[in-house]
Chains A and B, each alone.
Chain A
Amino acid sequence: SSELTQDPAVSVALGQTVRITCQGASLTTYYATWYQQKPGQAPVLVFYGRDNRPSGVPDRFSGSRSGDTASLTITGAQAEDEADYYCNSRDTSGHHGVIFGGGTKLTVL
């Protein structure tokens, strides 16, 4: 089945811009979806499709895609953005179910 690869950890200085990436063959077929998960909480949808941000998610969160790599960009990272971020997509080479990236732990310095 397909895989999605994320960097395990990324850090950013407060107020700076950070890009979290997700790479996989399925992303040439499907847009990625991004979730934020804080300790002890359920994941929360933060970006999906080409340009969709759920109500209540700050506009400093944006998404993009280039080839087989999707990115979640946080422009002007805040302390409350420190969390784990997961991408997901559909599998394109086997079961055609959902696949998740391994997650990226974002630290805001």
Chain B
Amino acid sequence: QVQLQESGPGLVKSSGTLSLTCAVSGVSISSGDWWTWVRQSPGKGLEWIGEIFHGESPTYDPSLKSRVSISIDKPKNQFSLILNSVTAADTAIYYCAHLRRGSHCSRATCTYYYYMDVWGTGSTVTVSS
């Protein structure tokens, strides 16, 4: 049973660097699925930050791409998020999640879908001035 747990500082100074780690248990992080970060600002909806697949380059949301980095630490079975030059707009709950892909095939045509089946409990990060 896959479990995820975020950890990191709850308070980051404006213009500083946000750093979070997601510990993975119950499956190897090189299992063949994606690992992703999602955030939720107070009172707002879910915002995808980026994802990583073991052995491949990460993919990021274009609006954050210049400030974000996601990496995998295979020996520790965890993955991390770094967000630079933070502002108050980066204050949010940060979730890590396990992202999988499935497909439904009919008459040699397959339609894919992506789903986050396991989520961490979330890590609240406040950016202070």
Contact = CB atoms under 8 A, between A and B. Distances in A.
A26 B117 CA distance: 20
A37 B114 CA distance: 18
B109 to A, nearest CB: 11
Interface in A54-106: 54, 84, 86, 88-90, 94-103
B10 interface: no
A30 B103 CA distance: 9
A107 B50 CA distance: 31
B46 A42 contact: no
Interface of A: 1, 29-33, 35, 37, 42-45, 48-52, 54, 84, 86, 88-90, 94-103
Given A89-B113, A95-B59, 16 more contacts: A29-B112, A32-B113, A37-B46, A42-B119, A43-B38, A43-B95, A43-B119, A49-B115, A50-B111, A89-B114, A95-B60, A95-B61, A95-B62, A98-B36, A100-B47, A102-B45
